[in-house]
Structure 1
Amino acid sequence: MLFKIFIVEDDEMLLSLLENFLQKYGFETFCVRDFDTLMEDFRTFQPHLILLDINLPKYDGYEWCKQIRKNSNCPIIFISARDSKMDQVMALEYGADDFITKPFDYEITLAKIKSHLRRAFGTYATLSNQRIVEADGLQLNLDRLTLAWKSNTVELRNTEAKILDLCMTQIDCVVSRDQLLEKIWDDQAFVDENTLNVYIRRVRNKLDQLQLNGSLQTIRGEGYRLRSIWREIT
């Protein structure tokens, strides 16, 4: 499969370097140079993954991320010289999947791109051998990144699926924040309390979409508990 990467960066030298590097590894790329037609180009190119800077012409990366999320669930990786925790939290709030700070290592960036593509497009398992976690009728598909209850299904990001995996396998039990942080992130430098809070809010939103409001509880000073309150819902 030929994966397509959409690069949104206004530094022409860095743009060319990224494009050449990714093409060398077999990716098809589209580099945004006209920000007035960015969304039109995005819809035409239909990328599998997006690399997105923050400081950009017309709108900043957060706004572009928000607009893209209205049209696509593909992985978005921010690449920016802005490296504060608040910048990383804002990126996640707007729907990003990862954050790489400039200057960056090209090989590490390539590894992150490949990892997100594997997770997003299910190359870890075949359709006949999918990883599914079930708790009282609630089904989490870890390969397709979906959560289903009754006739309704919502799509998940990889980190949301990891949180639900841990909570569902310990249904009605308290899962500590440390357990969640250990399961979710390999790069411990990227972890902070605000980042976890962002993902917990996202998971609650997905549960709300399935009409399972209030099922993920905060246990003050301990962590979180996914309660199987849907048993009572008919």
Structure 2
Amino acid sequence: MHYNCLIVDDEEELARMTAEYFRMFDVSTEYVTSREACYAFLKEHTADLILLDINLGDGTGFEVCKRLREETQIPILFVSARQSDDDVLVALSIGGDDYIKKPYSLSVLLAKVKVNLKRVEQLKKVNVQAGTEMKEVPENAAGTGKGSTLTLDESTMSAILNGERIALKAKEFALLQCLYQHRNTIVKKDILFEEVWGDSFFSDGTLNVHVRKLREKLENDPNNPQMLKTVWGTGYILEI
């Protein structure tokens, strides 16, 4: 069976209440309360998105995320009472797409989930010739030399740079796509938060981690980026 959302949280009452609330708004949702139950569930069912707690009775959400990222790029939103910036950065660096701190408002959580589900649905509906949508950029894109091209494959959420396919996570792809749409102009941080995360009040750390990951995948020298540049105090610019 297919669900819009899977909640993985050892606080069973909270997980149950959240699932029931989501269902009221036509978001098909199921929940499990442990790491092993999550693995077992995904062997029998599919989901568009996972809400994942860090503290689980038989392990951690970090372990679950790392294992799932070996097999899928499904959006993973961490939901945790842990407030440390270090936890946020770890969650995002290992493959999480968002980090939501408890306690949270169910309405705000639902809004974040719907933003991600909308993007998943849009990607599902992509119907481009030969399974790709080619977006060719000027010759010196990414500073990799004459004849460089950048291709975004929305059906697989990957980038193709000079013929090399590069797998991206959902939020990395969304961020790159947003920057491309505003290419060669400075994109303010609040615009990126709004268009990519659906929230104009978000953590700089979240954005910084995703930008760093994109640079590691796209730039010849991530420490000296030629394509995705920082405009200090303002935002970023994709120069192509």
TM-score by length of 1: 0.75
2:61 is aligned to 61
Instruction: Say yes or no: does 1:183 pair with 2:191.
Output: yes
User: Once structures 1 and 2 are overlaid, which stretch shifts more, 32-41 or 104-113?
Assistant: 32-41
Q: Which residue matches 1:164?
A: 176
Distance in 1 between residues matched to 2:127 and 2:155, nearest whole Å = 9
Asked if the contact 1:118–1:124 (Cα under 8 Å) also holds between the matched residues in 2, the reply is no
Q: CA RMSD in A?
A: 3.4
- Higher RCO by CA contacts (8 Å cutoff, separation 6 or greater): 2
Q: Cα gap change, 1:153/1:56 in structure 2, threshold over 3 Å: closer, same or farther?
A: same
What aligned pairs does 1:1-234 form with structure 2 within 5 A after superposition?
Answer: 3-122=3-122, 127=127, 133-136=135-138, 137-141=149-153, 145-165=157-177, 168=180, 179=187, 181-186=189-194, 187-192=199-204, 194-207=205-218, 213-214=220-221, 216-217=225-226, 222=232
SS in structure 2 of the partner of residue 79 of structure 1 = strand
C-alpha separation in 2, matches of 1:36 and 1:165: 35
Give the equivalent residue in structure 1 for 2:142: none
Q: Deviations over 1:163-215 (max 9, x none)?
A: 434655677x6x76xx35233202343222x33331122112332xxxx6337
Shift of 1:50: 0.3
Match of 1:213, SS? coil
| Identity rate, percent | 29
Partner Cα distance (1:33, 1:166) in 2: 35
Contact map agreement 1:134 1:140 (CA 8 A) in 2: no
Task: Read off the aligned partner of 2:54 and give its amino acid letter.
Answer: I
Paired amino acid for 1:135: V
For normalisation by structure 2, the TM-score amounts to 0.73
Partner of 1:147: helix, strand, or coil?
strand
Offset of residue 4 of structure 1: 3.0
Structure 1 unaligned residues grouped into runs of 5+: 229-234
Segment drifting more, 41-50 vs 213-222? 213-222
Does structure 1 retain, via aligned residues, the 8 Å contact 2:188–2:236? no
Alignment partners' CA distance in 2, 1:170 and 1:189: 20
Q: Is the 8 A contact 2:8 2:52 kept in 1?
A: yes
Post-superposition CA distance 1:49-103 (Å, at most 9, x none): 1011111112221221111111211111111112232222221112111122222
Query: For 2:14, what is the secondary structure of its paired residue?
Result: helix
Moved more, 69-78 or 120-129: 120-129
